[in-house]
């Protein structure tokens, strides 16, 4: 919020403006010394309120000074507007209204003094409501900011959980395949090998023929089991780099140059999902907000990072704002320890860099 628009600036402005009015009354009045001392005391109290948050009862000091000097100078009656304003400012409107009673006992009560009291009471109540509303707005803004931070934290937790689940799913699938091969295919192949080794020492032709039949049955069963295992683990939908290539091939009206380098097999599934979203978001920006005619897509996989760069040759400048889609990508990339950067100097460039985690290879031995 702009400091010039803070309600307390107007409150302090009213306080010092009232002191200026009292000073004017002192200059044109007859009781010079008494008025000066009263104005000085009120100025000290006003300065303290300007610098510190004084309690509501501190207005009694102002009221005491005004009643003390009222028999000697009319400035004392006019000065009552300051404690009246302070009481109304803290929500003590009834106590502030009681300060109108001196008007009933003044021998020469004037309309100017009445309106001077009325405006002090009015501005005090108005300032109280304004400050109350400001505090309410600040509390609501703090709650919304807290809820937004909590939502961002939950999003990051979900992304981390998704990454962990993806890793666990991959490990469980590898374990299932290893057990499948060990329990079925491994036993049959081991049995066939032993039967072939025994065949060399069998003298009876019938026993030799029986061993060959066992070898044949075991090999046929192993081949069938191997085909079934491969069929079961083969994905029915495109994943990994094949999915990115399919997305590129769907773009027909723009010349897309696709380039890939590195070992794609070492990229885990949760990173492919982010790269897919980055590619789709970049193509969406090209279609909606760009006059580009060529897009270059470069996918590079090294031993430590995965880098996806999408560069177009668009010249429109209405894409200066970073939308929610790009901000979401940047947040997801940060959750994986990477980054998504954007450059608009020469067309539109989106670069996603994600580090590859070094997996520890654990050799497990399965005993038959």
DSSP assigned state of 36: H
Q: Which residues pair with 351 in a beta bridge?
A: 309, 341
CA distance 147 to 269: 31
Chain CA centroid to CA 87, Å: 42
Kindly list the distances between the CA atom of residue 129 and the CA atoms of 96, 133, 136, 140, 277, in Å, as whole numbers in the listed order.
15, 6, 10, 16, 49
Q: What is the pLDDT along the chain (368 residues), one digit of tens a residue?
A: 444 457 888 899 999 999 998 888 888 875 556 788 889 999 999 999 998 888 889 999 999 998 888 888 888 888 999 999 999 999 888 888 888 887 766 665 577 888 888 999 999 999 999 988 888 888 888 888 888 878 777 877 776 777 677 677 667 777 777 776 666 666 677 777 777 777 777 767 777 778 777 777 777 777 777 777 666 665 545 567 888 888 888 887 788 889 999 888 888 877 888 888 888 888 888 877 777 888 899 999 998 999 999 988 877 655 555 667 788 888 888 878 888 888 888 888 899 999 987 653 334 333 44
* Core vs surface per residue 150-188: b (16+ CB within 10 A) or e: eeeeeeeeebeeebeebeeeeeeeeeeeeebbeebbbbb
Q: Copy the structure tokens of residue 356.
A: 């590859």
CA distance 317 to 340: 20
CA distance 266 to 279: 19
How many residues are given for the chain? 368
CA distance 296 to 312: 6
CB-count burial class (<10 Å; 0-12, 13-18, 19+) for 40: exposed
Torsional sign, CA 124, 129, 130, 135: positive
Candidates 46, 45, 49, 27; CA nearest to 36 is 27
Q: Which pLDDT score, from 0 to 100, does residue 251 have? A: 80
Task: Say which residues have a Cβ less than 8 Å from residue 19's Cβ, sequence separation at least 6.
Answer: 39, 42, 43, 46
CA distance 25 to 80: 14
Q: Copy the structure tokens of residue 131.
A: 């400050």
Q: Which pLDDT score, from 0 to 100, does residue 270 have? A: 78
Q: Are 292 and 340 in contact (CB under 8 A)?
A: no
Q: Which pLDDT score, from 0 to 100, does residue 3 have? A: 45
CATH 3.30.565.10, domain 241-355, yes or no: yes
3-state secondary structure of 220: helix
């Amino acid at each position: 919020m702009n400091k010039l628009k803070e309600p307390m600036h107007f409150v302090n402005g009213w306080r010092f403006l009232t002191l200026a009015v009292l000073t004017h009354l002192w200059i044109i009045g007859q009781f010079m010394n008494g008025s000066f001392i009263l104005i000085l005391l009120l100025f000290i109290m006003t300065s303290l309120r300007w610098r510190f948050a004084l309690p509501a009862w501190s207005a009694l000091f102002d009221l005491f000074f005004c009643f003390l000097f009222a028999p000697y100078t009319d400035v004392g009656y006019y000065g009552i507007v300051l404690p009246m304003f302070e009481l109304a400012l803290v929500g003590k409107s009834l106590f502030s209204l009681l300060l109108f009673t001196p008007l009933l006992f003044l021998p020469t009560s004037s309309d100017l003094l009445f309106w001077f009291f009325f405006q002090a009471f009015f501005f005090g109540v108005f300032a109280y409501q304004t400050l109350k509303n400001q505090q309410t707005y600040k509390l609501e803004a703090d709650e919304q900011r807290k809820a937004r931070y909590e939502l961002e934290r939950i999003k990051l937790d979900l992304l981390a959980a998704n990454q962990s689940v993806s890793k666990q799913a991959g490990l469980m699938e590898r374990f299932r395949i290893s057990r499948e091969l060990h329990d079925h295919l491994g036993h049959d192949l081991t049995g066939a090998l032993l039967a072939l080794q025994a065949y060399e020492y069998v003298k009876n032709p019938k026993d030799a023929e029986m061993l060959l039949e066992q070898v044949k049955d075991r090999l046929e069963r192993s081949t069938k089991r191997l085909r079934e295992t491969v069929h079961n683990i083969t994905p029915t939908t495109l994943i990994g780099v094949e999915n990115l290539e399919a997305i590129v091939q769907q773009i027909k009206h723009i010349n897309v140059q696709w380039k890939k380098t590195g070992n794609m097999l070492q990229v885990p599934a949760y990173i492919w999902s982010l790269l897919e979203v980055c590619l789709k978001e970049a193509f969406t920006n090209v279609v909606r907000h760009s006059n580009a005619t060529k897009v270059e897509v470069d996918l590079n996989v090294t031993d430590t990072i995965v880098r996806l760069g999408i560069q177009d040759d668009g010249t429109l400048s209405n894409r200066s704002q970073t939308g929610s889609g790009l901000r979401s990508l940047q947040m997801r990339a940060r959750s994986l320890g990477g980054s998504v950067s954007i450059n608009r100097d020469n067309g539109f460039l989106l670069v996603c860099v994600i580090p590859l985690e070094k997996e520890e290879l654990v050799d497990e031995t399965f005993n038959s």
